[in-house]
Amino acid sequence: MEKLKKRWEIQKNWQLLFPVLGVLLTVFAAFLISKDSPKWFGVENTTIGWFTIIVFCTVLSLCLVRFFLWCFKKLEHKWKVTYKWEMIAIFIVFAITGSLSGKLAGPLVELLGLGREMTHPALYWTARIVLILPIYKIILVIVGWLFGQFRFFWEFEKKMLRRMGLGFLLP
């Protein structure tokens, strides 16, 4: 435990929430991806099917954790954070925000009357993708604030808006 605390620069026990939550969310994502793996081999609803899910989930979880650790090393000097555990919180915020904005864009497109059944697929997907951007920007700052990373995400948003040529929107 001390090795984990030292590696992620954790000073208070509540900060352990982020590495634990990061691992749990990674395993959950791996499970969601690998839950259909028995269908690939035609072994649904069998003991071998459950074994397949467990093996794929374990392997995928380990691969994802290794990938995220590699990303942390690459971004450690680029992102200005005080402690390393904050990087886990930032990754979690990005994951939640991306998923949530994608989920909210569908019903919003329907609400605007551009539903999948009523419009051409090109128009539907264009509208959905265009709507994801402002939804993402708003949710990113809100979820970042909930995870104690408001300053990081506010600076991230300002930089992204300037790069998109929308810096005039900033105060």
Q: List average pLDDT for each run of 10 residues in the chain, which is 171 residues long.
A: 82 87 92 87 83 92 93 86 88 92 88 84 88 89 93 88 77 70
Q: Same domain for 18 and 61?
A: yes
Closest Cα to residue 138, out of 166, 89, 100, 87? 100
Number of domains in the chain: 2
Asked if residue 86 and residue 117 are part of one domain, the reply reads yes
| pLDDT at 61 (0 to 100) | 95
With 0.85 as the threshold, say if the pTM is over it: no
Indicate whether 15 and 69 sit together in one domain. yes
Q: Rounded to whole angstroms, how far apart are CA atoms 171 and 167?
A: 9
Range of the domain at 61: 1-78
Q: How far is CA 163 from CA 57, 94, 134, 138, 141, in A?
A: 38, 19, 15, 17, 18
Last residue of a domain, one of 31, 60, 78: 78
Instruction: Indicate whether 64 and 138 sit together in one domain.
Output: no
In a shared domain, residues 6 and 56? yes
Four-residue CA torsion sign, 72, 26, 151, 86: negative
Query: Are 137 and 164 found together in one domain?
Result: yes
Of the residues 27, 60, 78, the one at which a domain ends: 78
